[in-house]
Amino acid sequence: MYQMNIDKNEIAYLEKVKSYIASRLGSYEDDMISLREYIREERQRMWEDFVRVSDRPDTFELVQLSQTESRDTQRLERMEKENASLKILAKSPYFARLDFKEDGYDEETIYIGRRSLSDESTAQMLVCDWRSDIAGMFYDSPLGKTSYTSVEGEIPCELLLRRQYKIADGELIYMFDSDIAVEDDILQQELGKTSDAKMKTIISTIQAEQNAVIRNLESSLLLVSGVAGSGKTSIALHRLAYLLYKQRKTLTSSNIIIFSPNNVFNSYIADVLPDLGEDKVLQTSFYEFLSEYFKDKSVLPLSDQTERIFSKKTDTNEIKLKGSAEFAAKLEKYFISTAVSDIEIKPLMLDSEEIRTKAELEYLYFDLYKSFLPAVRMNKIKEGILEYCENDIKQNHRPRYEHEISQNGSIEMNDDELNLECETRWQGDLDVLANEIEKMFTPNLEKAYLTVLRKFSEEYYEKAKERFESGVLYFEDMLPLAYLKVLCGKIREQRRIKHVVVDEAQDYPPILYLLTAKVFKDAKHTVLGDPDQAFISHIKSIKDISELYSFPKTVYIEFNKTYRSTVEINTFLQSILKNAADTKFFERHGEEVSFESHENLISTVSDITQKYPSTAVICKTQQDAENAFNELTSAGVKVRLIGSEDIVFPGDTVVLPSYLTKGLEFDAVVIFDQERKTEDDNKVYYVCASRALHKLVVIR
C-alpha cells in the first residue's frame, strides 16, 4: 500500500512549502531581534525619564510610554507564538491531500495540516487547516459523489483523490492513496508507537465517529460515553481546538474551563491545545474550584474519599446519598422554605448610634430585595448602609475620634497625621459594621445541611457535625454545602465561561451536575465518561446525566471501540468486566498478558524498563504504591512515586495508585492481583489493567 517510489511532483511541493516556511521563519527571527532591542530601549527610556522627573512626574507621558511598551510586548508575544507554530509545522507541514471537483468548477487540490499556511505574496493556500469545512471530507467522505458543509450551506462535489502522508523532520517517509478516511495501516503505525508523558494530537488519525463529536456545533449538552482507550479526552481537546477555530470571534481560551480528575492528568493533557495552535485553557478539578469557597475549612480532596472507600472507612451508601438528586431536592426545598428566613435581624448600631432599625432592615431583606438571592440581598443592604454612613454621618464621628486620640496620650499630631488617624479609625468602624451585616443576613448553610441530613440518618448527621466542629470538610460534604452556596448566591454564575468540559464524568454524583448546570447555565457543556471506570456508582449511564440539565439541545454519543491496547490485553480486559465483552477493539497484536509471582517483582520491572520507555507500576491505594516504591528502590530499581500533585516525565518508570491513572496510558503496566468481591472491585482492577498499550504483567 505504501508508495515508496514517491512522485517527484510531491517532493517538489513539499520542498516548496518547506522553503516558504523557512523564509517566514527567517523573517520572523530578524523582526523579533529588532523588536526585542526596541522594547529594551523603550524600557530604558522609561526608566531614565522616570528618574529624571521623579520629583515632578509627568503622569500622562509615563502612561503613554507604558502603553506603547505594552503594545510592543504583545506584538512580540504574537510573533514568538507564530514563530513557534511555524517551527512545528516545518517538521510535518501536512498529512493529507484531497483532489475534488465542485459542480460547475475546475478540479482543485488542497493539502491538510495542523494549521493553515498561505503564501502572502501570491495568496496561494499552501496548507489548509484540518478544522476547515472542506477538510472535513478527509475524515468523513469516501471517494465519489459527496458534499461538505460551509457557511453557504451544503456544497456538492466529487472527491477524486484522498492521499495520506507520513512526513517526519521535513522528510517525506511514505504516502498512499485510500478510499476511506484513515486506513488501518497508518492507524497501526500510530498506535504501535511507544507512549509519551504527554498526550499527543491525533489530527491525522481521527475516525469518522470521533469527527462527528469534534465538529458538533449545535448541542448545548454533548454527552459522550466511551470505553477505556476510545479517545474521549483527546477528542474533547480537539473539539475545543475546533470550536476556537470556528467561533474565534465569540470564543477565546479564557472562555473555556476543563474539569479533570487531578493535576497528574492536567499535566498529561496540557500540551495538546498549544500543539494545535491554540492557547491553553483553564484546567482545574472540582475540588480546586469549589474549595476556594471554603477557606475556613480543611477540605479533603476526592482522592481522600477514594482511599476511605478502599479501606472501608466510609460507607459508600452515605456518599451516594449526599450526592444524589433526591438529597439536592430536599436541600433546595428546605433552603427556600426555611433557611432563607432563618436569620436573626436586630437594630444596626455604630458606636451608640442606631443606623437602621430592625423594622427597616426587615423591609430591605424581605420586601425590597426579595427577588434577589440571599447573598445578593445582603450585599445590596451592606453597600447601601456603608454609602449612607460615608456620605451622611461620617463627620458626626470625627469629634469622638479626636477625643479618643487626645485621651490616649500627649503625642502631638499635625493636621495630616490627625486626619490619617481619624480615617483609619473610621474605616475600622465600617469594617466592624460590614462584618455585622454579613453575619446577620447570611443564612446558616451548615445548619441547613445538617438539618436535612439528620432527616435521613442520625449517624451521618453526628459524624458530619463532629467534622464541622473540628474544621474538616470531606469531599462528599463539600458538594451539598457548595450547592447551598449556589442557591444562596455565594457562588455566583460564571458568565465569562462559554464552554465547560467535564472529563471522567462517571466519578461525580448528580448533585455536582445540578450545581454545574446552575453556575455555568449560559455555557455549552461537553461531558465525557465511562461508567465501567467508576469506583463508586453514582450513575448507571452517562446518558442519565442529561436529566440533571435543563438544556434544550442534548446529544448522546457512544464510543464502543478502543484503540489503546493490543488484542491480547483487550481479551484479558474482557474477562474482568461483563460489560467489556461488548467492547470492539482494533486488531493490533502484541505480547500475551503475563503473570508473575511477587518474588519476581524486582526482576520483572527491571526487565520491562529496559524495553519500554514508559512503564507504570499501578497499585490500588497510595499506601500500596508507597510499599511497592520502597521495595523497588531498596533493590536499586530506579522508579518515581507519583502523588496527586506530581507530574509524569518522559522516560520515567512510575509507581502510582489506581485513581491517579484514569485517562493515562503507558507502554508497559505492572499491576497487582486484587481481591475482587464486588463489581466495583472489578472496575478498579479494570482501570489499572486498561492503562497498558503494549505489555501487561500481573503480579500474584
**pLDDT tens across 610-660, in order?**
999 899 999 999 999 999 999 999 999 999 999 887 877 767 899 999 999
Tell me 542's DSSP state. Answer: G
Of the candidate ranges 176-180, 306-310, 556-560, 669-673, the one whose mean pLDDT is the lowest: 176-180
Over 80: is that where the pLDDT of 403 sits? Answer: yes
Q: How many domains does the chain have?
A: 4
pLDDT computed for residue 91 by the predictor: 95
Asked if residue 43 has pLDDT above 90, the reply is no
pLDDT at residue 477 is higher than 60: yes
Whether residue 605 is found in the same domain as residue 676: yes
Tell me the per-residue pLDDT of 506-515, one tens digit each, with 9 for 90 and over: 999 999 999 9
Do 111 and 74 reside in the same domain of the chain?
no
Query: Do 572 and 679 belong together in one domain?
Result: yes
Q: Does residue 482 sit within a domain? A: no
Nearest-angstrom CA–CA distance, 361 and 363: 5
Residues 90-145 have pLDDT tens digits of 999 999 999 999 988 999 999 999 999 999 889 899 999 999 999 999 999 989 99
CA distances from residue 548 to 290, 495, 528, 663 in whole angstroms, order as listed: 19, 20, 15, 24
CB-neighbour burial class of residue 73 (10 A; exposed 0-12, middle 13-18, buried 19+):
middle
Instruction: Give the three cell numbers for residue 481.
Output: 454545602
419-426 mean pLDDT: 93
Q: By three-state DSSP, how is residue 174 classified? A: strand
Q: 68 pLDDT band (50/70/90 cuts)?
A: confident
Q: What share of the chain is helix, strand, coil (3-state, %, to 5)?
A: 50, 20, 30
Q: How many residues are present in the chain?
A: 700
Region 314-321: what's the mean pLDDT?
96
Rounded mean pLDDT of the chain?
A: 91
The SS3 of residue 683 is: helix
Residue 626: what pLDDT? 96
Cell digits of residue 144 = 465519489
Helix ranges, 528-674 (H)? 567-574, 601-611, 622-634
User: What pTM, to 2 d.p., does this model score?
Assistant: 0.88
Residue 192: inside a domain: yes
DSSP secondary structure code for residue 663 in this structure? T
Whichever domain contains 668, its CATH number is: 3.40.50.300
Q: Are residues 575 and 692 in the same domain?
A: yes
Question: How much is the pLDDT for 65?
Answer: 67
Question: Percentage of residues in the chain with pLDDT exceeding 90?
Answer: 74
Mean pLDDT of 209-219: 95
Report pLDDT for 97: 96
Pairwise CA distance, residues 512 & 372, whole Å: 23
Instruction: Count Cβ neighbours within 10 Å for each residue of 101-114 and write b for 16 or more, e otherwise.
Output: eeeeeeeeebbbbb
Whether residues 49 and 173 fall in one domain? no
pLDDT of residue 28: 85
Do 388 and 381 form a contact (C-beta atoms < 8 A)?
no
Segment 385-390 mean pLDDT: 95
Q: Which amino acid is at 660?
A: L
Whole-number pLDDT of residue 1 = 46
Q: What is the mean pLDDT of residues 591-596?
A: 96
Angle formed at CA 619 by CA 580 and CA 612, multiple of 5 degrees: 80
**Cα distance between residue 13 and residue 126, in whole Å:** 9
CA-based end-to-end distance of the chain = 44
**pLDDT at residue 50 in the model:** 64
Same-domain status, 12 and 100: no
Question: Is there a single domain that holds both residue 75 and residue 128?
Answer: no
At 600 the pLDDT is 96
Last residue of a domain, one of 43, 67, 91: 91
User: Residues 600-610: pLDDT tens digits?
Assistant: 999 999 999 99
Q: How far apart are CA 15 and CA 9, in angstroms?
A: 10
Which pLDDT band holds residue 52 (cuts at 50, 70, 90)? low
3-state SS of 144-155 is EEEEEEECCEEE
- How far is 113 from 116, CA to CA, in rounded Å? 7
- Inter-residue contact 631 to 657 (CB < 8 Å): no
pLDDT of residue 255: 97
The beta-strand segments (E) located in 17-135 are: 96-102, 107-113, 117-118, 125-129
pLDDT score at 485: 97
Torsion of CA 337, 340, 344, 346, to 10 degrees: -120
52: Cβ contacts below 8 Å, ≥ 6 apart: none
Residue 68 counted as domain residue: yes
Q: Among residues 406, 427, 442, which one ends one of the domains?
A: 442
The grid coordinates listed for 583 are 467492547
- 77 and 192 in a single domain? The answer is no
Do 172 and 74 belong together in one domain? no
Q: Which of 585, 542, 550 is nearest to 566 (CA)?
A: 585
- On the CB side of 514, CA atoms within 13 Å amount to 22
**Cell representation of residue 529:** 465518561
User: Per the domain annotation, does 331 fall within a domain?
Assistant: no
Is the pLDDT confidence value at 58 over 60?
no
Tell me the C-alpha distance between 239 and 241, whole Å: 5
Helix axes 475-488, 325-337, angle to 10 degrees: 40
What single DSSP character describes residue 237?
H
3-class secondary structure, 115: coil
263 within domain boundaries:
no
Whether 513 is in a domain gets the answer: no
pLDDT bin (cut points 50, 70, 90) of residue 67 is: confident
The verdict on residue 233 lying in a domain is: no
Contact 331, 450 (CB under 8 A): no
Final residue of a structural domain among 196, 215, 234? 215
With a pLDDT cut of 70, the percent of the chain lying above it is 93
Q: What is the pLDDT of residues 659-668, one digit of tens each?
A: 999 999 999 9
Indicate the Cα dihedral angle 63, 64, 66, 71, nearest 10°. 140
Residue type, 216: N
Q: Does 63 share its domain with 161?
A: no
35 and 73 co-located in one domain: yes
Q: Cell 523557512 identifies what position?
A: 22
Q: Are 19 and 90 in contact (CB under 8 A)?
A: no
Q: What is the pLDDT of residue 414?
A: 85
Per-residue pLDDT at 648:
76
Asked whether residue 508 is assigned to any structural domain, the reply reads: no
- All cell numbers assigned to 459: 449517624
Residue 392 DSSP symbol: I
C-beta atoms surrounding 501 within 10 Å:
23
Instruction: Answer yes or no: do 606 and 669 share one domain.
Output: yes
Contacts of 552 (CB under 8 A, 6+ apart): 220
* Rg of the Cα atoms in the chain: 31
Residue 406 belongs to domain spanning: 348-442
How much is the pLDDT for 406?
79
